[in-house]
Structure 1
Amino acid sequence: MKKLLLVESPSKCKTIQAILGSEWQVEASFGHFTELAKDGEDSLGFTMHKDTNKIECRYQLTEGKGQQVVSKLRAAVKNASEVVLATDGDREGEGIAWHLQQQLHLRNPKRAVYNQITPTAVKAAIANAHQLDLNLISAQRARQCLDRLIGFKVSPLVRRTSGGSSAGRVQSVALHIVCQREREINAFVPITYWSVWTEYAEGFTAFYAGSSEIEPVLDDQDVTDDAAEVNAESTVESKRVLSEAEAARIIQVARNHPHVVREATGVTAQKSPLPPFITSSLQQAASVRLGLSPEETMKVAQELFEGVDLPNGRKGLITYHRTDSTSLAPEFCAEVKEWLSKHDPDNVPKKTTRHREQANAQSAHEAIRPTYLSITPKTVRDHLSAKQHQLYELIWRRAVASQCANALIQKSRVIIQAGSTLWQTRGSILTFAGYTRYWNDLSKDKHIPALTSGQTLALANAGFTQKQTQPPARYSEAKLVQVLERQGVGRPSTFAAIVKTLKDRTYVLLKGKVLEPSALGMSTDDVLHKTFPDLLRADFTAGMETTLDEISVGKLEWQSYLIGWHQSYFQPMLARAYTNLGADLQPSDRKNELSDVACPACNHPLSKIPSKKVSGGHFLKCEHGCENLVMFWSDRRNQWEIPQPKGENAVTAEVTSFACPVCGKPLAKFPYTKDGVDKVMLKCADVQARQRKDHADVVFFWSSQEKWWSKKFGDLDEAAKPNLGKASTSKEKKTTQGKLKRSSSKVAKPSPKKLS
């Protein structure tokens, strides 16, 4: 019998299988394969028992892949002599490992954690396998319940007021940051001013600096910003002059007096190399230098981590890419030093720069770096996609640069006096490249001639330029990630998902390189600011992350914390919010209670229509213009469904958020059986339309490429949405893509497996 290693991603299997050989079988869970059910109070999927301080979580397999994955892995476990869980070594990875233990009925499984997919790292992880980390599992479960609690309790309020689709513990803070910047821009009142300058025959320009002593200026060359534009020209201006008459007076003084060098100083400054990449800095640099979104960056980094096929075998090219630590393994640092000694001996530092960790860094993994320094970007160019090669080169160069010598910069400042006015110019010249040979983050050189104190200069020209103060800039994706990181909002694994969620919900729009809040985003933020102001405070959300960190190391018990937080804080806040917005939530002419289930056509919440003839005492109906759209609860399928007429397609159909390519109405799922296997196809949800000849070929099947495919229409475009009112996206409303769960019911429904 073979030994069995279980990982998250199927792309890793081939790389790790090649490392471990025929004695092992490597299988994947395909990431999260379980989720909290959508049942119980407000479809939370868990119940808080205040008397015992326990939380009863009800998990179910994810729709589609969940049952398939578990069935395959159970069969593999039966034929295995040993099972090792090797999911990712973070909070979510530990949670997935725990669910594998539960679903596969494993007793005391071994847990292996590695930071890179290399023979040494993988074999060492297996040799030093340990037990599951129950504290880390508790933190993951707490995170999951906390996000479900906030999202499912607050989102209905957002849907009923602003028309937004959701709210969340982290996404709402990110949205507020973008919206607050937009309000600052709208409230900005520009001020007109004049920048005054002089030009000299010696070949340089100086700027007015006042008529008294000049204050020291912070040298921005010493400040590193991965979210800043590369080689951006720094704007040099004079001291601001607030009237044209004053600017003209200063120019007159300059023209009527000799210009004498009052001070000419020069100093050689050192600039230390930047630290190697962490998740956030990689996303920022890739956005600015490569034009990749945070989501694209993480996707490509995942591919590099999992492994690519090279002439000498499949190899993982980078270490784990979800990290907040800037530390590097000592053996890698030694490898870089040896490489520099051979290829660039001048860049071997006498003392390597030590990079500080962030205050809230978890440091579970080392920084992002190449797994094999000898695999240079040049040697793998022909074996990587364009994006893979670009990102790999970025990571390789940054890691090497972090271990190089300091750059040396000759900096100079000249102060000139003309009558009662002072003028200043500054210059900088790179005299030793150091780390910048691999990672250039310096502005272009600015040369000024060698001048001496007391030297008289020849004035060639003098003038002024009218300018206006500018409003604060909108955030780019890179800048937003930077702000979230600095304010402690989210974790390395979530930054890309946060930005993507805001775009998917159409809360923000990407215009050029910047994020602009939509009208929907602004109104949603307004509602949340009025009802849940704490939810929008970065320090409030950052405090929750700190709490989850304390749970992960055993300092807090997660169930008592969450129950206490809900009772003492969240529940009273919810009550106040619904009281304050009572009139908006339930208009006087509305007689029916609103459900938490969104209409699959227009996205508005469906109303509960009382009826003694149906299960649970009510059915759902859209009262927002979607004619005759009703849904009934199916006890057999445990979901809300649109009824279908008897005859052809007599089965009930689950409506999706995909659009029919012919009429634009929603597609629905219809079960069928092929070769004894139960499968699902997509057809138009409109019964009458399905009878027409133009709909004869509107049939989509699930392909081996994991896409919906039609012989006539090809792959189904996930961006195509139904045209009936305001349709939800497949990510926005899982209630339309997957099962539409009952939010509350008087009739007990079969529940998923209970795990406390």
Structure 2
Amino acid sequence: MMRLLICESPGKIKTFKGILGAGWDVQASLGHVMELANDGADHLGFDVGAEAVTCRYVPRGERGAATLKKLRAAAAKAQEVYLATDPDREGEAIAWHLARELRLKSPRRIRCTQITEGAVRTALQSPGRLDLDLVSAQRARQCLDKLVGYKVSPLLWNATGGKSAGRVQSATLHLVCEREREIVAFVPVDYWSVWVEYAPGWRAYYQGDVPERPEATEAADDAKSNQEAPPAESTRVLSEAEADRLVALARSHPHAVEGVERRTVTKNPPAPFTTSTLQQAAGALLGYNPERTMGIAQQLYEGIDLPTGRKGLITYMRTDSVEVAPEFIEQARTYLQTHDPDNLPARSATHRSRAGAQQAHEAIRPTDVSLTPRTIRAHLSEEQLRLYDIVWRRAVASQCAPARLAKTKILTRCGPVHWQALGMTVAFAGYTRYWNDLEAALALPALEAGQRLELLRSAHEKKRTQPPPRYSEPKLVQLMERKGVGRPSTYASTIKTLKERAYVALQGRALVPTELGLATDALLGRTLPELVDSAFTARMEAGLDAIAASREPWEKYLIGWNADYLVPAVARARATIAAEFPKRSAAPPTAGAPATSRTPCPHCRRLLSKVPSKKVKRGYFLKCPACADLVMFWNPWHKIWELPKPKTDRQTP
């Protein structure tokens, strides 16, 4: 009889068949085959009792039913059935459902973080059992998400027109909206950067007046040494008159070197990619959004056709660990010994994962270091090649020697004023030959204390403080990871949901909350503040981790969370919303009374009133009924309501 192996994606079937050979049937579950039903109270598909949670699962649509029928027929003919779904919580839950629906008495669970012949053969030699703790964590997450979505979302429908709320979704939306409010409330300040240029052509920047006491000078130098400013920025001067005075002073006094500090520092190689850092790097270097990045990474993981056979090129791409297998360390060191011996460190580099990382799988890395981007470029699409290239380079760089940097700080003086120049050169490139994350190097001339300098010119440049930038999709992923909102497998899908719900929109690469998104977030912030609090959401993720680690029974956790938080919180929110948003059948507002918008005041959070006006294209502007003189106007380019720009912004330069 045949042996049956069931994976998730049909894209893996060919790779597995090429490895397993004759005597094997390989089928795909096409992801989840079962899902919670939509019956019972609030269509949850499960009942939360006093001591137990009863879940009712049904096939996931027509495709799920058809897939199950096909898999049952294949399992009936098989001597043994191996479940090779993805090695994470979702994959474990899929394997659990398959075992139940196919009535497998002794399912053989194998886990492969890379689809290569060696990894698959090793997994088949020692198949394990289902990890019921991981299954419990996934079931708890699924029930939590459905509880929040089905209990909270209806509160939004008549209030803001929002389509949905979610455990991770709403906390992520809040991060975007809070940044937008910071931008709206930001008040720019003008300042001047003052600099001098010396022969043969290098700049130093104003660093303040020379202190009168020597000990004060030493303290000031120590402080500046610990907080080196970017080389193209001086100590800020807050008036043009003061900037003019400094320029005049620089032109009227001789200049000399007061001190030179030279030091060599080492910069350690970066860790290999995690899901989050891969999405960030692909966004910054390749312009890929998280969803696109993960789709391409999935293709590289599932495998491509090579002259030697079909092979997976990278390890599993949903991970928060930076550790790699010993076999890869050995591969990388052998590669460096052959091709770049100067870059081979005496001991292999080690990297530590961040606190709280699950570390269920190793970092994202190539399965075979000898498959360089150059040698396999003919077998990859352009976007596959570009993503594989950064994965390969980052992983190899992680095992290289540190870079050595020669840093120089020159302090000059003219009269009562100090100027400073910062320079850097690369003494040894080290890992940066593969992954260059250094700032632009600036070489300074070899000078000594007391040396006179020739001033070529002195000038100042007017600048203005800038509001914090909006988040790009990769930057939002970075923030989600740092705050513990969601998990590697949810980053891309969460951002996709926010865009599909019209809560955020892309402008260039920036995520901008829409009017609907701001109104929905403001309402949730007033009525269910814990739900949009990233710390609260992170604690929920920690609870799921505790379940996965067998430290907490999942039913007890879900029952407690529902009774202690969700039920009373939703009741309070419903009462508040009923008072703020009476039903549409209620009496219309008194004639002449301004209509209420869905946009909250950025200061007091009350909903703004619509004030009709023929002077604006939208036909009305918004005004706060509580904050005197606070008005907002519609920005058709950004599709958001904004405060008026300061008068200085509208003056002709």
Measure, in 1, the Cα distance between the counterparts of 2:232 and 2:225: 12
**Letter of the aligned partner of 2:62 in structure 1?**
G
What is the CA-CA distance between 1:399 and the residue it aligns to?
A: 0.5
Contact 1:194 1:240 in 2 (8 A): yes
What is the CA-CA distance between 1:22 and the residue it aligns to?
A: 1.1
The answer for the alignment partner of 1:430 in structure 2 is 426
Paired residue for 1:290, among 286, 290, 298? Answer: 286
SS at match of 2:459: strand
1:43 aligns with 2:43: yes
The answer for the alignment partner of 1:188 in structure 2 is 186
**Relative to structure 2, which stretch is displaced further, 37-46 or 297-306?**
37-46
1:112 aligns with 2:103: no
Measure, in 2, the Cα distance between the counterparts of 1:64 and 1:263: 77
SS at match of 1:482: helix
What is the CA-CA distance between 1:337 and the residue it aligns to?
A: 0.6
Contact 1:377 1:393 in 2 (8 A): yes
SS at match of 1:501: helix
Paired residue for 2:168, among 167, 170, 182? Answer: 170
Measure, in 2, the Cα distance between the counterparts of 1:143 and 1:344: 47
The answer for the alignment partner of 2:91 in structure 1 is 93
The answer for the alignment partner of 1:203 in structure 2 is 201
SS at match of 2:260: strand
What is the CA-CA distance between 1:432 and the residue it aligns to?
A: 1.2
1:216 aligns with 2:224: yes
Q: How many residues align?
A: 577
The answer for the alignment partner of 2:549 in structure 1 is 553
1:407 aligns with 2:400: no
Measure, in 1, the Cα distance between the counterparts of 2:232 and 2:165: 43
The answer for the alignment partner of 1:247 in structure 2 is 243
**Letter of the aligned partner of 2:26 in structure 1?**
V
SS at match of 2:256: strand
Contact 1:316 1:371 in 2 (8 A): yes
Measure, in 2, the Cα distance between the counterparts of 1:441 and 1:521: 36
Paired residue for 2:454, among 455, 458, 463? Answer: 458
SS at match of 1:380: helix
Contact 1:193 1:243 in 2 (8 A): yes
SS at match of 1:64: helix
Measure, in 2, the Cα distance between the counterparts of 1:219 and 1:148: 48
Taking structure 1 as the reference length, the TM-score comes to 0.75
Paired residue for 2:507, among 511, 531, 534? Answer: 511
Q: Deviations over 1:186-215 (max 9, x none)?
A: 000011111111111232011100014343
The answer for the alignment partner of 1:130 in structure 2 is 128
The answer for the alignment partner of 1:697 in structure 2 is none
**Letter of the aligned partner of 2:36 in structure 1?**
L
What is the CA-CA distance between 1:499 and the residue it aligns to?
A: 1.2
Measure, in 2, the Cα distance between the counterparts of 1:439 and 1:217: 27
Identity %: 53
Flag the 1:337–1:458 CA change in 2: closer, same or farther, 3 A.
same
Measure, in 2, the Cα distance between the counterparts of 1:286 and 1:385: 16
Measure, in 2, the Cα distance between the counterparts of 1:380 and 1:588: 63
The answer for the alignment partner of 2:614 in structure 1 is none
Contact 1:34 1:61 in 2 (8 A): yes
**Letter of the aligned partner of 1:517 in structure 2?**
P
The answer for the alignment partner of 2:6 in structure 1 is 6
The answer for the alignment partner of 2:140 in structure 1 is 142
Measure, in 2, the Cα distance between the counterparts of 1:337 and 1:527: 55
The answer for the alignment partner of 1:651 in structure 2 is none
Contact 1:349 1:405 in 2 (8 A): yes
Contact 2:10 2:28 in 1 (8 A): yes
Measure, in 2, the Cα distance between the counterparts of 1:372 and 1:463: 55
Measure, in 1, the Cα distance between the counterparts of 2:584 and 2:372: 69
Contact 2:34 2:59 in 1 (8 A): yes
**Relative to structure 2, which stretch is displaced further, 547-556 or 156-165?**
156-165
What is the CA-CA distance between 1:163 and the residue it aligns to?
A: 0.7
Measure, in 1, the Cα distance between the counterparts of 2:227 and 2:21: 56
Flag the 1:271–1:18 CA change in 2: closer, same or farther, 3 A.
same
Measure, in 1, the Cα distance between the counterparts of 2:57 and 2:482: 34
The answer for the alignment partner of 2:522 in structure 1 is 526
Contact 1:94 1:137 in 2 (8 A): yes
**Letter of the aligned partner of 2:459 in structure 1?**
G
Aligned 1:624-703 pairs, distance under 5 A: none
Which stretches in structure 2 are left out of the alignment for 5+ residues? 212-219, 588-653
SS at match of 2:374: coil
What is the CA-CA distance between 1:555 and the residue it aligns to?
A: 0.6
Q: Deviations over 1:601-627 (max 9, x none)?
A: xxxxxxxxxxxxxxxxxxxxxxxxxxx
SS at match of 2:224: coil
SS at match of 1:491: coil
SS at match of 1:184: helix
Measure, in 2, the Cα distance between the counterparts of 1:434 and 1:471: 37
Q: Deviations over 1:666-706 (max 9, x none)?
A: xxxxxxxxxxxxxxxxxxxxxxxxxxxxxxxxxxxxxxxxx
Contact 1:8 1:29 in 2 (8 A): yes
1:34 aligns with 2:30: no
Measure, in 2, the Cα distance between the counterparts of 1:55 and 1:220: 57
1:378 aligns with 2:378: no
Taking structure 2 as the reference length, the TM-score comes to 0.87
Aligned 1:210-289 pairs, distance under 5 A: 210-211=208-209, 212=211, 213-214=220-221, 215-217=223-225, 236-289=232-285
Contact 2:4 2:75 in 1 (8 A): yes
Measure, in 1, the Cα distance between the counterparts of 2:225 and 2:82: 58
Q: Deviations over 1:446-479 (max 9, x none)?
A: 1111111000101111111111111000001111
Aligned 1:18-29 pairs, distance under 5 A: 18-29=18-29
Paired residue for 1:358, among 329, 338, 354? Answer: 354
Contact 2:345 2:401 in 1 (8 A): yes
Measure, in 2, the Cα distance between the counterparts of 1:414 and 1:376: 43
What is the CA-CA distance between 1:63 and the residue it aligns to?
A: 1.5
What is the CA-CA distance between 1:272 and the residue it aligns to?
A: 0.6
SS at match of 2:571: helix
SS at match of 1:525: helix
**Letter of the aligned partner of 1:489 in structure 2?**
V
**Letter of the aligned partner of 2:532 in structure 1?**
L
Which stretches in structure 1 are left out of the alignment for 5+ residues? 222-233, 592-756
Measure, in 1, the Cα distance between the counterparts of 2:138 and 2:95: 11
What is the CA-CA distance between 1:352 and the residue it aligns to?
A: 2.9
Measure, in 1, the Cα distance between the counterparts of 2:275 and 2:382: 21
What is the CA-CA distance between 1:585 and the residue it aligns to?
A: 5.1
Measure, in 1, the Cα distance between the counterparts of 2:507 and 2:244: 40
What is the CA-CA distance between 1:157 and the residue it aligns to?
A: 0.9
The answer for the alignment partner of 1:501 in structure 2 is 497
Measure, in 2, the Cα distance between the counterparts of 1:501 and 1:446: 44
Paired residue for 1:392, among 383, 388, 397? Answer: 388
Q: Deviations over 1:486-522 (max 9, x none)?
A: 1111111111111111111111111111111111111
What is the CA-CA distance between 1:584 and the residue it aligns to?
A: 4.5
What is the CA-CA distance between 1:216 and the residue it aligns to?
A: 2.5
Measure, in 2, the Cα distance between the counterparts of 1:584 and 1:13: 55
What is the CA-CA distance between 1:253 and the residue it aligns to?
A: 2.0
SS at match of 1:541: helix
Contact 2:108 2:127 in 1 (8 A): yes
Q: Deviations over 1:244-292 (max 9, x none)?
A: 1111222222222211101111111111100000100000000110111
1:488 aligns with 2:484: yes
The answer for the alignment partner of 1:16 in structure 2 is 16
**Letter of the aligned partner of 2:418 in structure 1?**
L
1:574 aligns with 2:570: yes
SS at match of 2:373: coil
The answer for the alignment partner of 1:63 in structure 2 is 61
SS at match of 2:462: strand
Measure, in 1, the Cα distance between the counterparts of 2:227 and 2:579: 55
Measure, in 2, the Cα distance between the counterparts of 1:5 and 1:220: 58
Aligned 1:729-740 pairs, distance under 5 A: none
**Letter of the aligned partner of 1:47 in structure 2?**
D
What is the CA-CA distance between 1:219 and the residue it aligns to?
A: 7.2
Measure, in 2, the Cα distance between the counterparts of 1:571 and 1:217: 55
Contact 2:329 2:348 in 1 (8 A): no
SS at match of 1:360: coil
The answer for the alignment partner of 2:365 in structure 1 is 369
SS at match of 2:389: helix
SS at match of 1:424: strand
Contact 1:193 1:241 in 2 (8 A): yes
Flag the 1:437–1:389 CA change in 2: closer, same or farther, 3 A.
same
What is the CA-CA distance between 1:235 and the residue it aligns to?
A: 6.8
